Amino acid sequence: MNAHSFTFADHRLCALGSGALFWPEQRLLCVSDLHFGKSERMARRGGATLPPYETRDTLERLERDLNQTQAEVLICLGDSFDDLGAAMALPEAERLWITRLQAGRRWIWIEGNHDPGPVDLGGTHLSEWAIGPLTFRHIAQPGARGEISGHYHPKARVNARGRSISRPAFLVDRDRLILPAYGTYTGGLRSHTQVLCDLMRADAIAVLTGPHPVAIPMPR
């Protein structure tokens, strides 16, 4: 498996190169910030016109990760849709694709700031979800322990073979884990941004995504 394994809250987790998080013990896969329908939302609001294929691309990668891990639980960690209008405008073929992926597994939609209400796409809709020592929510809360969140779309930069490479990244310390954005049309927030430096402990690491995930001290 293309992944970096690490221990968080006394459990072994795997940061996949795709940006998904896998918890083998629970057969649980977690993805954050899918932002389905971003191209539709931007066009509807008069923004830049983007090729409307990001939802399909994201679903292809998600299906590949689900098949590879054989996950029985999927947590979508908020901002799964770019807004409620984008959820309502999702093409029927993509709605059926999501339904097919839901078959035979538990599917949890965590509430995000872009998608605060329930959508008619099956699964369970929650503000947050806790299992054992871990709590899954969209936005990190000060003072939390065993917290897994998203929202900030973190990215980190590393120098390799004489050049600088920037990639979406997991940020991890002993208290919290922040996932990168999984969606195709998503930007990122540099790890040295003040809000991320304030949230993460001084000894935090960044796990860069890509073909060969690599863990480095979190760039500040």
Q: How many domains does the chain have?
A: 1
- Range of 110's domain? 3-217
If one counts every other C-beta atom within 10 angstroms of the C-beta of residue 220, the result is 14
Long-range contacts of 167-171 (CB under 8 A, 24+ apart): 167/208, 167/209, 167/210, 168/19, 168/208, 168/209, 169/206, 169/207, 169/208, 169/209, 170/15, 170/19, 170/21, 170/206, 170/207, 170/209, 171/196, 171/199, 171/200, 171/204, 171/205, 171/206, 171/218
The whole-angstrom separation of Cα 21 and Cα 4 is 10
- Quick one: pLDDT at residue 129? 98
Residue 106 is predicted with a pLDDT of 97
90: CATH: 3.60.21
Where are the alpha helices (H) located in the chain, listed in sequence order? 38-44, 54-69, 84-88, 92-102, 194-199
Taken in order 190, 53, 177, 25, is the CA torsion positive or negative? Answer: negative
**With contact defined as beta carbons under 8 Å apart, do 108 and 124 qualify?**
yes
**Rounded to two decimals, what is the model's pTM?**
0.92
Give the position of tokens 């999984």. 182
Q: How confident is the model at residue 53 (pLDDT cuts 50, 70, 90)?
A: low
Q: Which residues pair with 218 in a beta bridge?
A: none
Distance from C-alpha of 146 to C-alpha of 177, rounded to nearest angstrom: 8
First to last CA, the chain: 29
pLDDT digits (tens, 9 = 90+) for 196-208: 999 999 999 999 9
pLDDT tens per residue across span 156-181 = 988 777 788 889 999 999 999 999 99
**What's the average model confidence in pLDDT over 111-118?**
78
How much is the pLDDT for 43? 47
What's the whole-number mean pLDDT along residues 19-44? 82
Q: What percent of the residues of the chain are helix, what percent strand, and what percent coil, each to the nearest 5?
A: 20, 35, 45
Residues 36, 89 contacting (CB under 8 angstroms): no
Helix (H) and strand (E) counts in the chain = 5, 16
> Is the pLDDT reported for residue 107 higher than 90?
yes
d(CA 40, CA 219): 34
